[in-house]
Amino acid sequence: MLRVGMLTSGGDCQSLNATMRGIVKTLDANCKKDVEFYGFQDGYRGLMYGNYRVMKAPDFSGLLTRGGTILGTSRTPFKQIDEPMPDGLEKVPAMKKMYKKLKLDCLCVLGGNGSLKTANRLSEEGLNVIGLPKTIDNDTWGTDMTFGFPSAIDIATKAVDDIHTTASSHGRVFVIEIMGHKVGWIPLYAGVAGGADVILIPEIPYDLDNVLKAIDQRVKNGARFAIVVVAEGAKSKEEAALTKKQYKKLLAARTEPSIAYVLADQIAERSGREVRVAIPGHTQRGGSPSAYDRVFATQCGVEAARGILEGASGFMVAQVGGKMCRVPLADIAGKLKMVDPESDLVREARALGISFGDE
C-alpha cells in the first residue's frame, strides 16, 4: 500500500483541485500498489490535529474545472511555526507525529512561500515532502510560473477591460487596484494585457508628479479617459525611503480603505479631474481555472506523482524555461521572486508609452 498525504495551505486559488487531481490520476494509473490518499483538512492545521479524509481516486473525479480547494485551507505563518497553538499543541512535533502515525510515504504540500518554508522545515525534520508552487502572485522562487497566476491574470485583465467602456463614456480617470502586496506580477501582466496607461507596482516606487504627467499627456493626445492600474502594495518614492517601522506607522494612520483611494484622492486634488476607484478584490482568486492554468496545474501534479513513484522527495515542482523540473526545497525556502524593473516586459511596456510613475 502506498500512502500519500495532501494538503492545501495559505491563500486559495483556482487550480488547487486540478493539481491534486493530477497527482491522484497519475499515481492511480502508474502505481503497481494500491494507493490511499489522506486529504488533510484546512492546511497544516489538519495535519497537526489529525483532521483528514481517507480518499480514493474517484473522489477526485470532476475537479479539473472546480476552483478553490475541496480540502479547505488556512494560514499557518512560518514565523510562528515554533510557537505553540492556543491550546498548547506544539506544531512541528504534532505534524511529525501524525505523519508517522498514518505511515505516510510522502506528503504533498500545495502552497506559496510561507507554506513551502514550512514544507522545507518538515523535510529537514526527516519527512518525505514534495512542494507544489501555488500562488496567484507568481512570487515563488525557483519557478517561472505558479498555478493560480494565469487565472488571476485573466480575471484582473477582464476587470481592466470592463472599466474601459465606462471610463470612456464619462471621460474619467479610473484607478484599478489589483492584488499584489509585495510583488507586482499580476498588475504588470493585467496592466499590459488590458491596455493600462499607468502601472504602479511595489518593485518600482512612483512619483505622483510622473503619474499626473502621464495622465495629462494622454489627454493632450486626444483621449477622454485614463486607466491607472495599481498594486495593493505599491509605494511612492517617499514611502519606499521609510524604514519598515515608519511605513507600518504610516499605513496604520491612513483613513482611506486602501492605496487605490489614496491615489485617487491625490490625482483628483492635484489634477481637478473626475476620478473613480475599482477593486476586483478576491474575485481574482475565485471561479474556475483558466485553460492554461489547468494544463500547468496538471503538469505540476504529474511531476509530483512521478517523484513519489521514484521515491524522491525534498523538492518543489517547478517550470524553468518552459520545462518541468524539480528544485530542492532548501534552495527556494524563504526567497521571494520579485519583478525585475529591467525585465523584458517592463521595458516593452515602457516602449508602448505605459508609465510606471518613476520617470
DSSP assignment string, 183-233 = --HHHHHHHHHTT-SEEE-TTS-B-HHHHHHHHHHHHHTT-S-EEEEEETT
Range 196-211 average pLDDT: 98
Mean of the pLDDT values across residues 306-320?
98
Give 246-300 pLDDT, tens digit per residue: 999 989 998 999 999 999 999 999 999 999 999 999 999 999 999 999 999 999 9
Contact in structure between 69 and 12 (CB atoms under 8 Å): yes
Confidence of residue 171 (pLDDT cuts 50, 70, 90): confident
* pLDDT at 175 exceeding the cut of 90: yes
Q: Contact 75/135 with Cβ under 8 angstroms?
A: no
pTM score above 0.85: yes
pLDDT at 190: 98
- The model's pLDDT over 90-140, given as tens digits with 9 standing for 90+, comes to 999 999 999 999 999 999 999 999 999 999 999 999 999 999 999 999 999
**Chain-wide mean pLDDT for the chain?**
96
CB contact at 8 A, 177 and 275 = no
End-to-end CA distance of the chain: 61
Read off the pLDDT band of 343 (50, 70, 90): very high
Mean pLDDT throughout 309-323?
97
Query: Domains in the chain, please, with CATH?
Result: 2-148+289-332 (3.40.50.450), 150-285 (3.40.50.460)
Residue 137 known to be catalytic: yes
What's the CA gap between 166 and 282, in Å, rounded?
22
Nine-digit cell at 144?
A: 517561472
Q: How many CB atoms lie within 10 A of CB 285?
A: 18
The confidence score (pLDDT) of residue 211 equals: 97
pLDDT, residue 333, reads 93
- Joined together, the cell numbers standing for residue 177 give 487596484
CA distances from 249 to 243, 329, 333 (A): 10, 35, 29
The Cα-based distances of 90 to 16, 84, 118, 273 in angstroms read: 27, 5, 14, 56
> How are beta strands 315-320 and 323-328 bridged, if at all?
antiparallel
Single out the catalytic residue among 12, 42, 105, 137: 137
For residues 132 and 110, is the Cβ–Cβ distance under 8 A? yes
> With contact defined as beta carbons under 8 Å apart, do 340 and 351 qualify?
no
Determine what percent of the chain is predicted with pLDDT higher than 70.
Answer: 100
| Phi, psi angle pair for 18, to nearest 5° | -65, -35
DSSP-assigned letters across all residues of 304-341? HHHHHHHT--SEEEEEETTEEEEEEHHHHTT-B-PPPT
CA distances from 128 to 70, 108, 132 (A): 23, 9, 14
